[in-house]
Copies of this chain bind each other. A is one copy, B any other.
Amino acid sequence: MQKMKPFIIIKDPKVAKLFANETRSEILHNLRHREMTACQLAKILGKNVSSISHHLSLLEKAGLVRRTRTLVKGNIIEKYYQASAQKFIISYTLSEGLAPESEDILKWKREICRGVVDKASLFGFDVPEEKKSKVQRLVEKYASLKHATLERVISRQKESSEIIKPEMRLLISLLTDALLSRNDEYLQVIWEICNEIGVK
């Protein structure tokens, strides 16, 4: 395995849209931990090789995967691929719909926040029907602030070839929480959410 970046922040909406396809997501998921050929991926994902090769070429053009080595066995050429990063993060600017062509991503984010409000009852926090749209807006604000802060932390990271280990995960979570604890807008939002859903 070649060295891999821990994170890549996706700022191009055209690249971000590549993640909407389930097969491509699964390809990326598999290539985070090992290098594989189109043929091996096709077997694992139960797809045909030509479809996988097509997806791989789109992902390679977008810089999300890269070719690690090519083996020639008789008249068969085996090209190995690997993801370019351990984790891809869709930039805050796209999930806010701030960039051109990012409306779909904003819509997707809103759907997730509606899901959060609907599922809170699974954890014993019931949101009354008449409060749902207010709470959804607060959850959207919470998600935006958390996402923007996480991105701010990650983009401070100095050049490093290290993969994500437990300490990196904990460090990033700690720095994100530390920055948010000094953010008045965040404190206000989380306070309102606690009041609305009844966290004591």
Residues of A near any B CB (own CB < 8 A): 26, 29, 33-34, 44, 112-113, 115-116, 119-120, 122-125, 139, 142-143, 146, 153, 156-158, 160, 165-168, 170-171, 173-175, 177-179, 181-182, 187, 190-191, 193-194, 197, 199-200
Contact check, A146 vs B173: say whether CB atoms are below 8 A apart.
Answer: yes
User: Among the listed B112, B115, B156, B174, which residue makes an inter-chain contact with A124, where contact means beta carbons less than 8 Å apart?
Assistant: B156
Contact check, A193 vs B174: say whether CB atoms are below 8 A apart.
Answer: yes
Contact check, A175 vs B123: say whether CB atoms are below 8 A apart.
Answer: yes
For the complex formed by this chain, how many copies does it contain in all?
Answer: 2
A-B contact sample (8 more), CB < 8 A, given A44-B44, A139-B174, A146-B173: A119-B167, A120-B171, A123-B175, A124-B156, A124-B158, A178-B193, A181-B187, A181-B190
Question: Which residues of B are found within 8 Å of A178, using beta-carbon distances?
Answer: 190, 193-194, 197, 199
Question: Which residues of B are found within 8 Å of A139, using beta-carbon distances?
Answer: 170, 174
Contact check, B33 vs A168: say whether CB atoms are below 8 A apart.
Answer: no
